[in-house]
Amino acid sequence: MMKWTTMGSGTLALVVLAAAFVAAAPREGFGPGLQDWGFAEVRPGAHMFWWLYYTHAEVSNYADRPLVIWLQGGPGASSMYGNFEELGPLTLELENRTHTWVRDYNVLFIDNPVGTGSSYVEDFSLLTKTNGEIADDLVELMKQFYAIQPEFRDTPLHIYAESYGGKMAPEFAYVLNKAIQNGEIECNLQSVGIVAPWVSPIDSVLSWAEFLLNMGFVDTKGYRAIQASAIETEHVLNLGRWEEATNLWGITENVILRETHGIDFYNVLFKQDYFTTRSQLEQFSRDMRSAIASRATRLASEDRDQILEDLMRFEVAPALSLPAESVYGAQSGRVFNTLAGDFMKPAIDVMELLLNNTSLDVVIITGQLDLIVATPGNVRWIEKIQWDGRNSYLQAPRNAVGRNGVLEGYEKSYVTIKPSLGQRCVAQNVAEMVRVGWMHYLIVLHYTLRIATANQNGFGPGRQNWGYIEVRPGAFLFWWLHYATGSSHTSDDQDFTRRPLIIWLQGGPGASSTGFGNFEEIGPLDRTLNNRAHSWVQDHNVLFIDSPVGSGYSYVQDLALLASNSSTIVSDLMQLLVTFYATAITTTGFDWERHVPLYIASQSYGGRIAVEFALAVVQAVRHGQLRCKLVGLLLGNAWLSPIDSIRAWPDYLERLGYIGRAGRVRLEGQVEALQQLTADSRKAVSSAESVMDSWHSLQQAVIRETNGINCYHVLKPNAVESIDPSSTMVASDVDDEELLEYGGTTRYGLAGVGSVDRPSIEPVSRHRSLEHLMRGPVSQALGLHDKPPWGTLRNAVFEALASDFLESSTETVLRLLHETTDLELVLYNGHLDLIACLPGTIRWLERLFNRTEAPVRESFPLPGSCGHPIEGYRTVYYGDGAAPRLTLYTVLRAGHMVPADNPTAMAHILKAHVKQLPQNL
């Protein structure tokens, strides 16, 4: 290993030459491939550690491949995070990394600033205090590096850095470029790339509250608390009180931890440890680590920081023969504290110098799930940069980028500045596609095994009943009851009589409860015919109703009989309920109407029907027409105030990074036009047809602006290969039901079901695969083969309800609250759903309760012992009295189909709000 010393100049030259002769040749180090490493004494007593991995590519000369420098954030986080947690040849578990950068490039990891990781200073006064000092040290390191690695002088050099490294790298690149021009160093610097960069700290801080509100991690009260702290930070920063601004930055983060119950700043979807969070909120370290660094609030069975430290100290250091003075991480904490006065200073001016005075390419990468350096803050400062290409950049198109037909992010570029938004890692997408491919062989296996064993009890496990009810002459609603299975050890075949009845209504309108709700979300079997771990049927009787008529297995003998408004749908459901109760007594010998508590659960457009159906049931009971006990409503991602949801779309999409400011303006114009047409239609000024034309136009605009986002779960991959960037997708390209109900994900399905030969596998939608199941095995098992095929009329159902689709049912919610005292209303929203996005739901709720903040908002953990993650947040609305009247759950890691996306959270909600009957009934 080479080490520079503080000897005299002549002696120093001899040492460097001797060391260069030894160190220039690649050697074995720690892990696979050839490496080199050493320390550069960038100033007397200040030693900076570097570790070079020669590319694994098959080349005759390593220098034929580019050299990439990697700098970590913090300040004080070691680039060994980048090495073992992000892009080096080995993972922290010492397994080979499939997508290592070393496969194609030579990668130089630098522990920077001095004092970070294995770098060290002989006196703490030598730690850097400014970004400029950091840049000077790095240039000095590169001078010494090229002295012992002269073969890389002509190799294209690219500097990449993350987080606070994104603030250090631009100035490093600028100073290095000047040194090249002045003849001080010979190297071929080509570009600088900054990942989740801390370039303009205050723009990041000011974006936090809005980002968290749109993602559903805070309510209005939390938003105001965070924003107030952020604005105070801005005020102090504008006065030039830099260290005080750094302190207020830390205070603002503590406010966020309190309001979100311990969100992970580096990936907001990482699970949060509820119990640990509560005890450690005020212990949050101000050490702004890399995006992979573990934190006290992150749910993990092991401390990855400690694992990395142990690896570096006890395995890597001996393998590389690092000196005793270099103790990994021993000085890292002091690095941050020493830079506290520089931490909040912006580096936009350096970006301007790079763009105006150099020919270097500048690449900016931001991840949409990062809070600490949130995408909206990055967009804000990027648009502030004053450079020759600014106007052209602002007018440049925002293009989709992807791989293997899957949307991965967006790119907006002009000349050299290229901010792009990373959505999910390609490796993760590929892994999912492989698993889905295998899944379809399992589907075939299940089909051949289970069709042969289907019995008269229905399709799948457990006791069932089903049938048609003619709710109007020529209009038939199909229902399918799954009796509660109870505990697996029970032998009581009447256990269902002690379980409540839940009616499930799907959305759309036109989507099937027996298909989507049953096999995709809450039934005993999933779509691949595996047992569902969190099936609602285990503890509850579940009645799936294909409503309105024409949905799923339901049908009409004349299309004129399709429902054209919610009143007709509710009337049909009431007729079904009355007939169902009469049938239940006959088939089970038990009075369900009188003894079994009733709950109505719904999703999406089904929420509109559910509240109106519930009001009709309450009124029927009051007038003696029914004797049932309606206990509660469970409304999932409810389409109760469509205009409020739609109005929230532009802001939601911009805050999550799916559109830019220009795209937001364009969408806002279309939303305003749709809202005006909807208002005019109520006055008979415009037709339902023109309203729906505007609705479809808005859908097209969302697809065009986002290059095909999945509206039902914004993080799920979409196939983008069918979207031509030079054209727009028109309404005829996408089936209405696909747009409105669970469409757009990249899946694989069966070309032929029931074949004894190995079936062909072809890319199809989730809907198409479910259609095979419902029209084939399920239809045969239930004896429906002589009825119209499942889903035949779904588009006709939607078209018939065009004039009703965008109507609001919030006044019905208000009536339920005023006319009942013991009916429990529960709303749950997945925070990754665009269609019925959470900000829209909060908007109409706050208007309904005539207040701007909810009195109670808390996280809810899993029931049980410590160590469980936070799954969401609960907000309780009290109304005029002291008793809670409505509960809103924000469910994390879930989109439109909450029971499918986060069944653990859904199980907690059910346990809290759906009560079982006494055992001695």
Read off the pLDDT of residues 418-436 as tens digits, 9 standing for 90 and up: 444 433 222 222 222 222 2
What pLDDT band is residue 859 in, cutting at 50, 70 and 90? confident
Gap between the Cα atoms of 354 and 361, Å rounded: 9
Asked whether the CA dihedral 384, 387, 393, 394 is positive or negative, the reply is positive
* More confidently predicted of 661 and 504: 504
- The full set of domain ranges for the chain reads 27-201+304-426, 464-642+802-852+885-913, 659-708
What are the tokens at 245? 């601004």
pLDDT of 562 higher than 90: yes
10 Å Cβ neighbour count for 125?
Answer: 9
What pLDDT band is residue 524 in, cutting at 50, 70 and 90? very high
What pLDDT band is residue 413 in, cutting at 50, 70 and 90? confident
Three-class DSSP category at 471 = strand
Gap between the Cα atoms of 226 and 329, Å rounded: 32
Residue pair 234/205 in contact (Cβ under 8 Å)? The answer is yes
Residue pair 307/92 in contact (Cβ under 8 Å)? The answer is yes
Which residues, at least 6 apart from 417, have a Cβ–Cβ distance to it below 8 Å? 355, 362, 364, 382, 385, 387, 389, 393
Backbone angles phi, psi at 315, to 5 degrees: -120, -50
Q: Could you tell me the fold of the domain covering 464-642+802-852+885-913?
A: Rossmann fold (3.40.50)
What pLDDT band is residue 288 in, cutting at 50, 70 and 90? very low
* More confidently predicted of 733 and 64: 64
In angstroms, how far is CA 141 from the centroid of its own chain?
40
What pLDDT band is residue 273 in, cutting at 50, 70 and 90? low
Gap between the Cα atoms of 606 and 608, Å rounded: 5
Min mean pLDDT across 541-545, 820-824, 908-912 is at 820-824
Phi-psi group of 589: left, alpha or beta (phi > 0 → left; psi -120 to 50 → alpha; rest → beta): left
Q: What is the pLDDT of residues 353-378, one digit of tens each?
A: 999 999 898 989 988 899 999 999 99
Burial label for 156, CB within 10 Å (0-12, 13-18, 19+), is: middle
Q: What percent of the chain has pLDDT over 70?
A: 80
Q: For the residues 843-868, what does the mean pLDDT come to?
A: 71
pLDDT of 867 higher than 80: no
Q: For the residues 656-670, what does the mean pLDDT come to?
A: 92
Q: For the residues 298-304, what does the mean pLDDT come to?
A: 56
What are the tokens at 615? 């009001």
**Which of 2.40.50.100, 3.30.200.20, 1.25.40.10, 3.40.50.1820 is the CATH number of 27-201+304-426?**
3.40.50.1820
Q: Identify the top-confidence range among 148-162, 455-469, 684-698.
A: 148-162
The confidence score (pLDDT) of residue 690 equals 86
Residue pair 510/551 in contact (Cβ under 8 Å)? The answer is yes
Gap between the Cα atoms of 330 and 309, Å rounded: 10
What pLDDT band is residue 749 in, cutting at 50, 70 and 90? very low
Gap between the Cα atoms of 636 and 604, Å rounded: 6
Query: Are 27-201+304-426 and 464-642+802-852+885-913 the same fold in CATH?
Result: yes
Gap between the Cα atoms of 565 and 49, Å rounded: 71
The confidence score (pLDDT) of residue 746 equals 24
The confidence score (pLDDT) of residue 758 equals 26
Gap between the Cα atoms of 385 and 48, Å rounded: 32
The confidence score (pLDDT) of residue 487 equals 46
